[in-house]
Chains A and B, each alone.
Chain A
Amino acid sequence: DAGITQSPRHKVTETGTPVTLRCHQTENHRYMYWYRQDPGHGLRLIHYSYGVKDTDKGEVSDGYSVSRSKTEDFLLTLESATSSQTSVYFCAISETSGNYEQYFGPGTRLTVT
């Protein structure tokens, strides 16, 4: 299994509070991704990174920001959480660009009340 961990694994927070989710990899892969999983939508890309300090938006990036200061860590921040951001968040990594598979972390279940 690819060495990917996510923290926390579960979090309950209140509307309007900031939240940061962490993804940590031990594979030294260049590409990292954040997805959210919601019923009826599958997984949707929030943001991704193609190197340290290099990030770009995915299809559902509004309300989210990311940072990558080290190869191994990719942080997802909800500046002011809303109930619509209640979801399961998955981090993924990929060794290189092109048509290569991604490896997924175990997920973080976030509930915004």
Chain B
Amino acid sequence: AQKVTQAQTEISVVEKEDVTLDCVYETRDTTYYLFWYKQPPSGELVFLIRRNSFDEQNEISGRYSWNFQKSTSSFNFTITASQVVDSAVYFCALTGRGSTLGRLYFGRGTQLTVWP
């Protein structure tokens, strides 16, 4: 069974603060992929990153960084120097080799509000 937990329902920060969004996953698969999506107020989910279970290197893309730790089954997302445009709902998702046809299992999302 696949499960993703995003324990933070809502986070509020002031612009320029750093913020970390937590994601904890459960899977029996030894091969799996993890994803982060952003959903701005307009509604469309935007793909941010995909990471496979064999690659534990952290990744940085501009102000975004991701910390993947298999030992704690976590795939956390950090926004550095947050901006108002980062306000959105962020979803973590998982698919494993045992998942049917690559279907994704989503966490419940974290609503991030960045105040000016």
Do A and B come together as binding partners?
Answer: no
